[in-house]
Structure 1
């Protein structure tokens, strides 16, 4: 009986840990800062709330799909995943395109971390970016797998803090939500895409795509496919629900935060300067938990983890991303993410066909690459 109880406890702990890894790979600078939610959901007003509900479902499915493919294909790399989904030729094209965009997303993490330190603590932008870049490169070089386990338990705390600040803001400012529609008429807020519904799909697409190596690693390292699926659904649902509350909280303070580089940090500060300070550190953790898997995903694509080549490549990639991160944070979010999102829509469509419509049977071989001709 004790053995069964021990097994059940271990299963639950692993489920939370894997879900946390999923959350950590996604909840980076743009997400936790509120800059993504501002451009992809809040900018459309009340209809953007419907977009966040769509996001809950898509997060739960899309991330889980890549975790299961990592398990099925026994891989940590996005290259094998894309080859499986789109075939060797088209998969290779997407492989190289994602490699390019990984630099862009890593640059956003570095720029976002610097912007957060500057906005709340007044730390020089350049110095803040250096801090994020050094921590990221150092972690990947010294041991990604150990860090990934630690990040799995840290990430739920980020979600809890984000939800707590959102709910606290909403509960004390319900009138702000009801007045948001009128207040937004005098504001100019950049929209990520022309339509609210396309923003929801683009948002999930670009959020999950750079995290494919980390998600595949989770699936590859776990034998229990049911555990992988439950973890993916839990992690994705947490991300979606957190976005919903962040959108509502941002709408309630839209006049005060619409022009901020890090809008949700201002939401937290308006609750209390102390809470704002705490969230500033939480935001840095969010940047860190995302930038590390992204840099790892790039390096492991070209070199084996732990080798000298891997370490040199990681260092060079970190330096290049740092230079690219000198572009203003909000501009990077509004440029890189939508482009990556449109790419991801193709992968999303093919993945839906392959894993939902086609529903491969148990006898299908993992190396089957005869998919839809995307």
Structure 2
């Protein structure tokens, strides 16, 4: 008879892959600013960034989700101390809420920028609408929130791939002209060179998402579901990044100066597609911001539900006020900062995950990792 940890439902794998994508997709990816600053701005070297991120996403995604599954019965499990030890782990435990508050502000600002750029509505009003939506999603509870964002993730990826592929097919002849635009692209760079940018992007996503990814793994029915959810989520995400990176490269002369490059690409194909894609972008920001909201508020858990709701409202207001700063500037400052702060943590996760022989508890089919 197969052990409990060997069960694997395709439907559940797709759900976990969608939830994995939902965290990363955010406003930075969905609008194209993240891709522009961490990938496209390095010209042809951006494909080196894509390759290194493929390896990083596949490896770290599996480690975090399967670790969460292995420790699913431990109510007070702290993945930071598990990977980094007591002192460093405690530092990261308190750093994460601060960094996620900053990233939430970026997401909320991105929603305002998208709505303003396409519909001409005041961007502060757009940001306020997003903030209210995120608060409402948090109040529904974690499992309901996962169901919501896991359905949004695949929709966003599908639209992103459609816009990216259409742009690449229509503009493939312009690939030879990319070098002409590299001077303009350089102003958008998040790091001194493409190699550092690769590491920072991996660190950004897996430091900020570590609490969410381990919690996601804890909800899996088997280790295989957690593992393959991470694998397919990572593969799909990197494929979307590669295609959208190429699409922005083909239009880098115009897109590099815009707050929402992907919206420009969609409108370049069709006004109707641009209108639909603007809605998809907002949903992408909503999906990531909702998951971050849960992670931040989980650090301030109170026994009284009313106090939890008040804390969530306070977090929302703070993120909205910080998000009033310009969107592209927020990404350029906050995202590399988070990436640098996460380097030690990512190194610790990699060291623990790369141990050639992991010790499993005898007689336990779920593949629980021993801390020895």
TM over 0.5: yes
Once residues 277 and 339 of structure 1 are traced to their aligned partners in structure 2, the CA distance between those partners, rounded to angstroms, is 33
Once residues 32 and 186 of structure 1 are traced to their aligned partners in structure 2, the CA distance between those partners, rounded to angstroms, is 22
Q: Trace 1:191-270 onto structure 2 (pairs within 5 A).
A: 191-270=189-268
Contact 2:42/2:186 (8 A) holds in 1: no
1:109 to 1:210, Cα distance in 2 relative to 1, 3 A:
same
1:359 to 1:206, Cα distance in 2 relative to 1, 3 A:
farther
1:51 to 1:188, Cα distance in 2 relative to 1, 3 A:
closer
Once residues 78 and 60 of structure 1 are traced to their aligned partners in structure 2, the CA distance between those partners, rounded to angstroms, is 27
Q: How far apart are 1:138 and its partner, in Å?
A: 1.2
How many residue pairs align between the two structures?
A: 363
Residue in structure 2 matched with residue 183 of structure 1 by the alignment: 181
1:79 to 1:220, Cα distance in 2 relative to 1, 3 A:
closer
1:275 to 1:219, Cα distance in 2 relative to 1, 3 A:
same
Q: How far apart are 1:305 and its partner, in Å?
A: 8.9
Residue in structure 1 matched with residue 273 of structure 2 by the alignment: 275
1:292 to 282, 290, 294: 290
Once residues 29 and 245 of structure 1 are traced to their aligned partners in structure 2, the CA distance between those partners, rounded to angstroms, is 17
Once residues 343 and 291 of structure 2 are traced to their aligned partners in structure 1, the CA distance between those partners, rounded to angstroms, is 21
Unaligned runs of 5+ in 2: 1-5
Contact 2:191/2:336 (8 A) holds in 1: yes
Q: Residue deviations 1:64-121, cap 9 Å, x none?
A: 2211121122279997010101111110111111111011000001000100000111
Residues 88-97 or 183-192, more deviating: 183-192
Q: Residue deviations 1:207-261, cap 9 Å, x none?
A: 2322223212221112310111011010011111110001100000011111001
Residue in structure 2 matched with residue 91 of structure 1 by the alignment: 89
Residues 101-110 or 141-150, more deviating: 141-150
Once residues 110 and 275 of structure 1 are traced to their aligned partners in structure 2, the CA distance between those partners, rounded to angstroms, is 23
Q: Residue deviations 1:337-368, cap 9 Å, x none?
A: 10111122211111111111354310399797
Residue in structure 1 matched with residue 108 of structure 2 by the alignment: 110
SS at match of 2:78: helix
Q: Trace 1:329-348 onto structure 2 (pairs within 5 A).
A: 329-348=327-346
Residue in structure 2 matched with residue 54 of structure 1 by the alignment: 52
1:76 to 1:234, Cα distance in 2 relative to 1, 3 A:
farther
TM-score normalised to structure 2 length = 0.92
Q: How far apart are 1:55 and its partner, in Å?
A: 1.3
Contact 1:57/1:240 (8 A) holds in 2: no
Unaligned runs of 5+ in 1: 1-6
Are 1:128 and 2:126 matched, yes or no?
Answer: yes
